[in-house]
Amino acid sequence: MIEQTDRAVGPTPSCGPVQVTGRLAAGGLLLAGLAWIVRAVWELRLALAGEPASGPPDQGGGVHRPLDALENSYHLVTSVGGAAVVLCVLLFLSWLLRLRDNADALSGQAPKYAGIWVYLGWIMPVVNLWFPRGIVADAFRRTAPGRKLPVSVEVWWVLWLIGMLSGVGIVYRDSTDEIIGRAYTDVWQLLASDAAVVGAAVAGAFAVRAVTAVQVERLRRGPQPQEEHAPAQPAGTPAGA
């Protein structure tokens, strides 16, 4: 199976898809970043407008007061932003699968992580702290043994973790109404988390472009027999990568 894939490697057909999926994934990340900037603007607008005399939207005990126009528009903004994030996820996973498949064909080595972790690695507690980054790093190192992982990958992952673990960023524990209540009282906490998410999106776009460029360069050279017989784990690969 690997031999058949290797014979097909080259500017066509493998090089084209990874370039296209890489561009789409980078675009999806930037779109998600833009959606989070809009959210931040609306949160700042809520803070500047001040909490209504009737109190926060979530009154506690399952009671919610009617929303004003600005609060309703924030719900719309978060819904549109959520759709942008879903699109970003689909585009990123499409790129990651292509990157991983190409790395398999180029190296002739089994990937470090089973294919199911491309999906579960993002949502499974504990392992989601390093598996997604590890999958990208593993594909990169099998594509270009001995080359250093782009710094943008590390920046992307650190900012992603900050946004995810902050509780008000990528993974919200609170409802939208509760987030509105936070905007009235703790807007700077929200804005700091938003900044981490936006930074992660921008760094992620650079990471996708950098990793894709290395694989495109490698694909254009075609399979190298001396690399196909290289050890499964290149020297210097971090144990947790």
> Residue 154: in which H helix or E strand, if any?
helix 151-165
Look up residue 74 and give its two tokens.
């924030």
Domain that holds residue 135: 9-222
Does residue 94 lie within any of the structural domains?
A: yes
pLDDT in tens, 56-105: 898 888 888 899 999 999 999 999 999 999 999 999 999 999 999 999 88
Does residue 3 lie within any of the structural domains?
A: no
Q: CA 225 to CA 222: how far, in whole Å?
A: 10
Does residue 114 lie within any of the structural domains?
A: yes
3-state secondary structure of 215: helix
How many structural domains is the chain composed of?
A: 1
Instruction: List CB contacts of 50: < 8 A, sequence separation 6 or more.
Output: 184
Does residue 177 lie within any of the structural domains?
A: yes
Q: Which amino acid is it at 51?
A: E
pLDDT in tens, 14-46: 445 899 999 999 999 999 999 999 999 999 999
Q: CA 206 to CA 63: how far, in whole Å?
A: 44
Smallest CA-to-CA distance from 212 within 2, 1, 62, 27 is with 27
pLDDT in tens, 94-144: 999 999 999 988 888 888 999 899 999 998 888 989 999 999 999 999 999
Does residue 192 lie within any of the structural domains?
A: yes
